[in-house]
Structure 1
Amino acid sequence: MTFTDDDVAQLYDLTNPWAAEQWPGDRFYHALVMAAGSVLDVGCGTGQMLHEARTRGHRGRLAGIDPDVAALRRARRREDVEWVEGKAADIRPHREFDLATMTSHAFQCLLSDEEIRLSLAAIRGALRNGGRFAFETRHPQARAWEQWAVGDSGDIAFSDGRVLRMRYRVEARGDIVELIEVTALADGTVLREDTGSLRFLDVEPLNAFLAEAGFEIEAQYGDWSHGPITLESKEIVTIARAA
C-alpha cells in the first residue's frame, strides 16, 4: 500500500491547518504579513499562510519558495501567488520585498554553518533596506525532541478513508537532532518512513549569524505573546531588520 509524496503534503495540511484565530503563532505571522506590502515566505510548504493572506484581502505581492515539489503542487492551487521551487540559498538578491518569513520552524532545517550563512545572505539580498525577516526556532533548553519519541499522534482520518498514525524515532547529536517520521495505519502497518534532521541553535550563535549577514535584531521573544526569552522559554521568535 503506497503513501506518496503528494499524500505526505496532504497529511501535513490535515495535521497542521493554518488558523490565525486558533493558533498564536499563526496569528503572529498573519499580522506581520497583512501589514507588509510585499512578502516572501521561505520554506512556504503547501502555501497555507499565503493562501490565507490572499483570501483575507492582501493586495500586494506574495511569493513563496520551497524545495518540496509535492508541497508546491498543493500551493499552486492558488495562482494569484508566485511559487518558486528552490532552497533559501537560491533566492535572487533583488532587494524587492518588505518582509521575509520562515514559519513552522523551517529555519531549523538549515543544518551547517555554511548553509545558514548562504541562506541568510540570500534572504538579506531579497529584502529592501529596512525590510524585516521574521522566523522562529525551538529553544534548545526546552529539549522538544524528548517529547517527540513518546507515543504517537493518535488517529488521523485521511481523505481516502484510511486511519493513520504518526510517530517519531529521534537521536540528538550535539545541536543536531536526527529524526525518522513513521507514517502507519492504525493497525501498525508502516506506509513510509521519512528521515530528516533539525538544528537547535541557542540565542547567542543565532544572533551572531544574523549580524554577520547584515541583520539587526528588532525584537526577540520567548513565546508568541511577545514575552521575553527566559529560562523557561520554548521558542526563540525573532524579527530582524535588514541593516
Structure 2
Amino acid sequence: MKTTDNLEIYNDPLQYDRQYDGYDADTRFILGHLPPPGSAVIDLACGTGRISLPVAEAGYEVTGVDLHEGMLERAREKAAEQGLPVRFLQQDCRLLDLSVSAPLIVMAGNSFQHFLTNEDQDRMLESVRRHLEPGGRFIFDTRNPVPSELAEPDRYEEYAEAGGRRIQEVHTETYEPVTQILHCTTERFAEDGTPLGQDGISLRYTYPLELERLLRQHSFRLENRYGDWSGRPFQAGSGQMVCVCRRDEP
C-alpha cells in the first residue's frame, strides 16, 4: 500500500472537524514551543487547519501542507472566515518543495504513522530537514507500540451522530508484526442494521529505540520525548511518543 492510497478516512472534512472539535492538547503544546513572533512555521499533514490557524492567529507566518485536497479546501474556508493569511499547499511530505524554510516544523495527529515503509520515513525526514533552518525544531507525535495491546486483533463498537441519525461504527484492528503495520477498518450501520459503507487506514508503528536511531541517522537530536501532548514523562505503557527534535549541524 502506498501513502497516497491511505487517505479514505479523510474524505469527509466536516466529519473530521466534528470528531476533533474541542481537542486542543497538541495545539496548546505547540503554542508553548513557538519560535520568536513573526517567524515562519510549517505545519505538515495539516488537515483542516486545526493547528495552522491558531498558530497564525498568534502572529506567525504559517504554511500548511497536506496531501488531501478536500481537507485543504476546508482549511482555506476556515482561514478566510477568520481572516488569517495562511498558505495551504497540496504536496507530498516526502517530496516537499516549498519556497520557505522555518525554525519550526510540526506534524501532529500521529501523521508520522502514515509513512509505512523505511523508505517513506527516510524520504519524509530528508524532506523535513531540507526545509528546517539550522538549529530549528521538528515536533511530531506517533503512537507508542505497546505489545500487549497489539498482540491480538481488536474489534469494538462505537456510536456517532451524523445527519441527525444515530450511526453504529464497528472497528476492527489487526496488527502485522513483520511490517509493524496496524490495519484498521470501520464499518457503519444505520439503527435498523442497514450497511452505510466502510473505510480503513493502515498505520506504521515505530519502536522507541528504532525511532532514536532513525532520527540520529537524519541528523536530528531528540531533545525531549513525552508520553502525551500534556508533557507527561514517556514510559513503556505511554500511548504516544511526542518528540521534540532539533536539527543538528551541518
Same fold, judged at TM 0.5 (above):
yes
Runs of 5+ unmatched residues, structure 1 = none
- 2:28 alignment partner in structure 1: 27
- 1:44 corresponds, among 26, 46, 49, to 46
Matches within 5 A, 1:179-190: 179-190=184-195
Partner Cα separation in structure 1 for residue 148 and residue 201 of structure 2: 17
Task: Label 1:7 to 1:178 Cα distance change in 2 as closer, same or farther (>3 A).
Answer: closer
Partner Cα separation in structure 2 for residue 52 and residue 164 of structure 1: 31
Matched, 1:152 2:154: no
- 1:231 alignment partner in structure 2: 236
Partner Cα separation in structure 1 for residue 153 and residue 19 of structure 2: 15
Residue type of the alignment partner of 1:41: D
Task: Label 1:182 to 1:50 Cα distance change in 2 as closer, same or farther (>3 A).
Answer: same
Partner Cα separation in structure 2 for residue 142 and residue 225 of structure 1: 23
- 1:14 alignment partner in structure 2: 18
Partner Cα separation in structure 2 for residue 8 and residue 148 of structure 1: 27
* SS in structure 2 of the partner of residue 155 of structure 1: strand
**CA offset digits 1:92-111 (Å, max 9, x no partner):** 27661111111110101110
CA positional deviation for 1:68: 1.1
- 2:3 alignment partner in structure 1: none
- TM-score in terms of structure 2 length: 0.82
**CA offset digits 1:167-191 (Å, max 9, x no partner):** 3222110111011123443443333
Contact between 2:10 and 2:16, CA under 8 Å: does it hold in 1? no
Residue type of the alignment partner of 2:245: A
RMSD: 2.6
Partner Cα separation in structure 2 for residue 188 and residue 203 of structure 1: 42
* SS in structure 2 of the partner of residue 14 of structure 1: helix
- 1:137 alignment partner in structure 2: 142
- 1:167 corresponds, among 166, 170, 173, to 170
- TM-score in terms of structure 1 length: 0.85
Identity of matched residues, %:
25
